[in-house]
Structure 1
Amino acid sequence: MTEKSHEIAVADFPILNPEHIQPQDYLRPILGATIYAMVFTLPATLVGLGTGVSVARLLTFQLGVATTIVGMLLISAMVHHFVWWRRLKNHGASAFIAYEDLDMPLEEAFELCLGATTQLPKSKIETFEEGKCIQLRVKGNFWVTVDRMIDIRFQGLGEDKTRVIVDSAFKLTPARTFLISKIWGPKWTPIVFRLDVRKNKQMLAQITDYLRRVPEWNHKYIYGDSFEALNNEKVA
C-alpha cells in the first residue's frame, strides 16, 4: 500500500495501527475473565451453600477456578498480541484487509461489485448501502471452518476511479459473539476475530480476484432478480 492508502486504511481499521494494543489494555481481558469466572462458578457455589459446604472451601474453589481462567486468558492475550503484531509487521495491512482500485465511477463500481459478490460460493448478501458498502455472509464447512462476514467498502478517488476495500472476520452465533466481546473488550475483539490469517488471506484473494475481473463483465445487477445483459438478454 502507498502511504496515503495506508492512512485511509488505519482510519477505518484501527487494528492496522501497530500501537493499537498497549500494556494497560491487558487489564480489560483480565477483568472480563474474572467476571466470567465468578458467573461460571456461581451455580456450584449456590449448590454448595445449600448443601452446607463451608464458605472457606467455596472461596478456595472460586479462587482456583478464577485463577485458572484468568491465567489461560492472559496467556491467550499475549499470544494474540504477538501474532497480530508479528503479522502486521511482516505483511502490513494486507494481512488483514485487501483493496483493489477500479478504473470506473463509484456508482458503476458498486453495481458491478454487487453482481460479482453473488458469484462467490456459499455466499449471501446480508445488507448493502448504495455506493458505500456491501456485507456478505460466507458459509463455512460444518465443524471445520466457521462462517465469515465480508465487508466490502467503497471510496471514490476521483471521477473515474474507485477503491474497493475488503475486510473479512469470523461470524459466530450471537451468544458466542456477545461472550467474546464482553470478555475481551472493544480493542481486543477485532483482533480475536481476524487472526486466522491464512484463511482470511485466501478469502480476500478470492474476492479481489473477482473484483479484478469486474471491468471485463458486460452486465448490471438487479438485487433480488437475475442478471440482465445490457442488451436485455437474460443471463443465468
Structure 2
Amino acid sequence: MSNIRAVRKRQQLNNLVATVTELARPGYTVVDFCSGTGHVGIVLAHTLPDCQVILIENKEESLVRAQSRSAELGLKNIGFIQANLDYFTGPFHIGVALHACGVATDMVMEHCIQAGAAFVISPCCYGFIQNAIKFTFPKSKRFQETLAYKEHMILCRFADQTAVQLPPERRLIGKQCMGLVDLDRSWAAETHGYSVQVMTMEPESCSPKNNMLVGRPAQKNGLVVDGSQLEAPVHN
C-alpha cells in the first residue's frame, strides 16, 4: 500500500488497539472478527501477551497470510478460525472489528451481546445496511418511533457520503448521519445492559469512516469490564 494509506491504517489500528488495551485484563480472550490478513489481531496479540487472541475470517487466502505473519513474529497467544462469523460460538471477553461492512457491524455486536463481551467496532459501508433475518432497522425503540424503515435507509445512504473528494459541507452531513445510525445501534445495545460510546478516531483524517462503537457490559459473572471490580466476589 502507499505510504499515505499505510499511515492512515496505522492510525486506525492505534485507535482500536488502545481502546481494547484499556478494556483487557490478563487471561481475557479477544476475538478479531472479519480479521482479514490480521492487521488488528496480530497487533493485539503482540500488545497483550497475557491474553488469547482469536482471528476469525472466512477467506482462506487472507487467513493463511495472517498465520504466516504471526509465525514470523513468533506469537504464541494467537489462534485462527476459518469460518463465517455466524458460526463462531465460543466464549470470549472482547470482540473487535475494523471497518465491518454493513450489517457485519450488527452481527459482531450481536455476538458480543450474546457472549456478554465488550466490543470495539469501527463500522463501514452504511449504505449496505438493510433488514436481515436477525435484524430490522431502525434497531432502537426511540428511532422506531421517529423513522420508518425507508427513512432509515435514506439516512444510511447519506452516511456513506464522507469521501474526501466531496465538498466539506456534504461530508459534514455524512458524518452527522453516521453518528445517527450508530446512535441507533448504541441505544439498541443499551437495552441489553450495555454502556455504549460512539467515538471518533483520532485524527479524523485517518478514515472517512472514522466512527468507533465501544460497548461495555454492565457486569459479567461478577466482573465489571471497566475495571472498577477486577475479580468476582468469593463466598466462603
Tell me if both proteins adopt one fold, taking TM over 0.5 as the criterion: no
* TM-score, length of structure 1 as denominator length: 0.32
* TM-score, length of structure 2 as denominator length: 0.32
Higher helix fraction: Structure 1 or Structure 2?
A: 1
